[in-house]
Amino acid sequence: MLPRELNTHPHFTHNETPLMPNLPLRILVLEDHAFQRSVAVNMLQGLGCEQVLEASDGAQALALLDQVGSVDVALCDLQMEGMDGLEFLQRVGASGQVRSVIISSSLSADLRRAVHQMVALLGLNLLGDVGKPLHAQVLAELLDTFVNRQISPSQPQRTTTLASEREVRHALAEGQLQAWYQPKFNLQSGEVCGLEVLCRWLHPTRGLISPALFVPVLERCALLDEMLFAQIGQALRVQRSARAQGFVLNMAFNLQTVQLANAQLTSTLKSLLAEHKTCGSSLTFELTESGLLEAPATSLESLVRLRIMGCRLSIDDFGAGFSSLQRLCQLPFNEIKLDADFIRNLAHEPRCRAAISSTLALGETLGMSVVIEGIETDAQRRELLALGCTQGQGYWYARPMAGADLLNWLQQRNHRRDSDE
């Protein structure tokens, strides 16, 4: 089916979006219902899209793409006769013929959310989910976002190439891998109740380097333990300074499952704790649940030894993998950190609310505290409080910060609290 030409005289009601400047976009509308397809095409033309293509099923859409080339955005229904939207997305996932996808479907929210995951796994960019019926204002905002993303002043390109082993070893030796801190807080009182310790590479010429570019190298070169022990040493010094200001703060460190096999893990930790004159109860170790499903006996021994030392153990990103309740009962954890994705979807996905409530109840039954990750707004905080959550972490409260900045931040909070009394 050939593309329809741009309609330069669209007719909108007073509730719809007026004609926008021409958008240099090629859009594909995949919709089997003729009237709804016509509405979508006319709406996109009215929004000023340069070229709007249409197809009534996935097979026709693929043939059209082969004929005219790639498109910027596919506005895609999911249910249709012939090849449906799911199979179409599977086919174009590896082809590069579709740059972004907008889902337009009357399927239930839980099914559409599963499709969102599918789109991400296929390597496609999900621009939005507009449901049905279509609204011009919503479409306009999504297309504007797409265009601005393409024409905005280009940011300095951050390399996606992993650092070399030599660079990472040098960074470790020179102390360039620094511990940064993100507070955990009490949702009701706002008081700091702990800190998650994160690793940041402060390169002397390249600035802040993402952990994604060096942590895989540390893992491949068996340097995770060296980084961990360096982090713990830095963090315990900051902890001592914070204690001098009147803040008793637990420090939480991310631990990979593979590190549990290190026979020297607990003995080295004991030495570090003795050196800094503190006890195991001042530390928490966070492990992602996916690596714990098949934890061998050696890993279980390390977990038990850490608990015997007084350390807390937290299951990180809980709910992001395929949770095993049996393993949760078997392993000696005393904290659950619920994955941030549940909070991001809390407002519009009832199942996320149910999952949070169930996890809070599970934690209470098992005697485990529950920390909610990814809190970004006060509305989220208040909604979580209403559900019974007491501890959280996220940008609403504080972003990760260097040790010196953390101590200043704590001091300023002390001064504000004193002045309010």
Q: Which residues are catalytic?
A: 373
Residue pair 136/127 in contact by the 8 Å Cβ criterion: no
Helical pair 297-308 and 265-275, crossing angle rounded to 10 deg: 20
DSSP code at position 334: -
State the Cα–Cα distance between residues 369 and 380, nearest whole angstrom.
Answer: 19
- The residue ranges of DSSP E strands in 37-176, in sequence order, are 49-55, 71-76, 98-103, 125-129
Candidates 119, 165, 143, 184; CA nearest to 46 is 143
Residue pair 4/52 in contact by the 8 Å Cβ criterion: yes
371 token code pair: 């920390």
State the Cα–Cα distance between residues 41 and 35, nearest whole angstrom.
Answer: 10
Exposure of 294 in the CB half-sphere (CA atoms within 13 A): 0
Q: What is the 3-state secondary structure (H, E, C) of 220-239?
A: HCCCHHHHHHHHHHHHHHHH
* Ramachandran assignment for 407, one of left (phi > 0), alpha (psi -120 to 50 degrees), beta (any other): alpha
